[in-house]
Structure 1
Amino acid sequence: MNKSNRRKFIGTAAAIAVGTAASAMPLSTEKGKYPVVHHVFFWLKNPDSKADREELIKGVKTLSKIETVLDLHVGIVAGTEKRDVIDSSWGVSELLFFKDLEGQAIYQTHPIHLEFIKNYSHLWAKVLVYDILEA
């Protein structure tokens, strides 16, 4: 076996071992940690503007100061493979986690959230929200 094939074999075997170990781990350790998820996708008015994207990201990050927000993840479109089931037309995503629906409702009317909308809505052309309750 030449060095290139040996490296590929070792790399593939390692990936399979990690995947197998991860799939065997119980998911119950995370259950209940984030029972309410608020996932928002923003389509920028100027999708080619990195400055607009960075400004919106900065604004989204201010939402973490709201006391009922347990965690916040901000993202941009990943450069993954193109498939029919993947929508990569949006520009910025926010993923917020709450303990309960009451916390999510407080977030909706919180002054920081309202200020975010006021200060950054000029950047987006479309917003799509998915609210998720743990099953």
Structure 2
Amino acid sequence: MKTNRRKFITTTAVLAAGTIAASAMPFTVQEKEEWPVVHHVFFWLKNPGSVEDRDKLVAGVKTLSKIETVKKLRVGVVASTEKRDVVDNSWAVSELMFFSDLAGQATYQTHPIHLEFIKNCSHLWEKVIVYDAVDA
């Protein structure tokens, strides 16, 4: 009987500790995005087969993270995913930026770091398409 009682007390203590630990963890699901303004840019290289040009452009895009209104920056290259009619993989480099508000995105457009990026890297691309969105 003492063995069953010890097991019960031990199990209860472990469950209680687990419940307390789980309730102390921060709630990770957000109801509203922290940075509701999205700026997504796709670049096509003048020399599409040049890994060197692609890497220079990637490095240039990464400098944009120093702009104070850029809350988050993701830089990507084309993924080797399944070929489907709805997938456009003709571009070479993409940037995905998040801003707190439209004013922050406007500040980014005229920021000296952004203008320097254009000056230093525009010779690498042939085409650029921009998609800007806000949370609905």
TM-score by length of 2: 0.78
Q: CA deviation at 1:120?
A: 0.1
Classify 1:64/1:117 alpha carbon distance in 2 versus 1 (closer, same or farther; 3 Å): same
- The residue aligned with 1:90 is 91
Q: Is 1:114 equivalent to 2:115 in the alignment?
A: yes
TM-superposition CA deviations, 1:17-49 (whole Å, max 9, x none): xxxxxxxxxx95162312000000000000100
* Residues paired across the two proteins, number: 109
TM-score by length of 1: 0.78
Return the index of the structure with the highest Cα Rg.
2
TM-superposition CA deviations, 1:36-84 (whole Å, max 9, x none): 0000000000010000000000000000000000000000000000000
CA–CA distance in 1 between the matches of 2:51 and 2:31? 35
CA–CA distance in 2 between the matches of 1:58 and 1:78? 18
Q: Is 1:57 equivalent to 2:20 in the alignment?
A: no
CA–CA distance in 2 between the matches of 1:72 and 1:34? 11
Q: CA deviation at 1:97?
A: 0.4
Structure 2: tracts of 5 or more residues without a match: 1-27
Classify 1:108/1:30 alpha carbon distance in 2 versus 1 (closer, same or farther; 3 Å): farther
- Runs of 4 or more, structure 1, over 3 Å off, are none
Classify 1:85/1:67 alpha carbon distance in 2 versus 1 (closer, same or farther; 3 Å): same
- The residue aligned with 2:45 is 44
Classify 1:30/1:63 alpha carbon distance in 2 versus 1 (closer, same or farther; 3 Å): farther
Identity between Structure 1 and Structure 2 (%): 72
Structure 1: tracts of 5 or more residues without a match: 1-26
CA–CA distance in 1 between the matches of 2:60 and 2:31? 28
| Pairs within 5 Å for 1:96-107 | 96-107=97-108
SS at match of 2:122: helix
The amino acid of 2:83's aligned partner reads K
- The residue aligned with 1:66 is 67
- The residue aligned with 2:3 is none
Q: Is 1:129 equivalent to 2:130 in the alignment?
A: yes
The amino acid of 1:105's aligned partner reads A
